[in-house]
Amino acid sequence: MLEEYDFDLSHVTSLIKEKHAKVVGLQFPDGFRREALRISGEISQNTGVRCVISANSCFGACDVDTGLLKSADIMFQFGHAEIPNITVADTHFIEARSLTPVLPVIKQAISEIPDHIGLISTAQFVHTLTDVQKYLADHGITGVIHHGDKRIAYPGLVLGCNFSAAAPNCDEYLYIGTGDFHALGVALATKKPVRIVDPVIEEVRMPDVDRMLRKRCAAIERSLDAQAIGVIVSTKIGQCRKELAFDLCAMAEAHGMNAHILMMDLVTPDALRAFNLDAFVNTACPRIATDGSAGFPAPMLTPVEFEVVIGERRWNDMVFDEI
Ligand code: SF4
């Protein structure tokens, strides 16, 4: 996998030397974890430091291993762009830019692309957006690259929980990247079509929005008689929405429900199984409710879906949960 990406290990070496670090913490998301030992070995060899690899979750730049950071002089999280409005001292984000060319699949899709379209991507391909924009312009198409909010490091970058870089003045989006996860989020958040152009498997496709909406509708219906709810709050630094959780509890109580706040790091079915609750409302990573709720002992709702359940919001006014 490593040869497909550009990790800037020379930058890592410079930062370690600058800091005179002796113990270095390393975090890898699942996709890069198999390279952890090799990268750790290379860093130790280049700098003489002791590396400590986090074996905890690393879902995004929201998920900094603050426990490991207490034992390290400096920490590097690989594979994610920083979230600018979260600052953690001595933590650096080492992006993994894909070296896979994107224009072959854009050429394949060109006849289907409308004259005006928003361009979006993830940290692995966001550096290609200006080249895509130029290529589209040569074919008479305006590709719009929009600046997101304070959670977004680059124009056109989308996270699974933040789609503010999807230009509001576009009726359709072109997502350059792999998987359906981000494109599905944009389609649900904007209620507009998103075309995925996947440079790795050279495929053009659309995410399955209807399937997700059916699942969310079912979760809401199963929660309509709920009397006791658990409101989940994350301890992860970039996922913690404590104030929202308190507000949701107060709202539930005003509707005659019993509400309990559950604070946790990793939100898993096993961790919640012992609580005898009718529904959960998730204020941690929004995608836990929408994409990862299978196997939980009770329906898992987003905060907005919970408002629909208690009649504080109409189904038609539902919006996708974003941080
Ligand atoms: S909150 Fe969830 S979707 Fe957002 S960056 Fe973190 S892991 Fe990704």
* Per-residue pLDDT tens over the stretch 254-296: 999 999 999 999 999 999 999 999 999 999 999 999 998 899 9
Query: Cα of 111 to ligand 1 centre, how many Å?
Result: 33
Q: Which amino acid is present at 198?
A: D
| Percentage with pLDDT > 70 across the chain | 99
Q: In this predicted structure, what is the pLDDT of residue 2? A: 43
Report residue 12 as tokens.
């890592």
60 touches ligand 1 (CB under 6 Å): yes
CB-based contacts of 163-168 (< 8 A; 24+ apart in sequence) = 163/120, 163/189, 163/190, 163/320, 163/322, 164/322, 165/120, 166/118, 166/120, 166/190, 167/118
The first and second tokens of residue 176, run together, are 């350059």
pLDDT(303) > 60: yes
What whole-number distance in Å separates Cα of residue 191 and Cα of residue 171?
Answer: 9
Residue of the CA atom closest to atom 4 of ligand 1: 161
Distance 95 CA to ligand 1 centre (A): 16
pLDDT over threshold 90, residue 251:
yes
pLDDT of residue 165: 98
Q: How far apart are the CA of 107 and the centre of ligand 1, in A?
A: 31
58 CB within 6 A, ligand 1: no
Q: Report d(CA 227, CA 186) in Å as an integer.
A: 33
Nearest-CA residue for ligand 1 atom 3 is 160
CA neighbor of 153 nearest in space, from 112, 123, 175: 123
Domains in the chain, CATH or no CATH each: 2-96 (3.40.50.11840), 103-207 (3.40.50.11850), 216-317 (3.40.50.11860)
Instruction: Using pLDDT thresholds of 50, 70 and 90, give the confidence band for residue 5.
Output: confident
- ipTM, two decimals: 0.99
Contact 62, 285 (CB under 8 A): yes
Q: Tell me the three state secondary structure of residue 34.
A: helix
Per-residue pLDDT tens digits for 45-104:
999 999 999 999 999 999 999 999 999 999 999 999 999 999 899 999 999 999 999 999
* 5-9, 57-61, 246-250, 311-315: the lowest-pLDDT one: 5-9
Whether the per-residue pLDDT at 1 is higher than 60: the answer is: no
Asked whether 93 lines ligand 1 (CB < 6 A), one says no
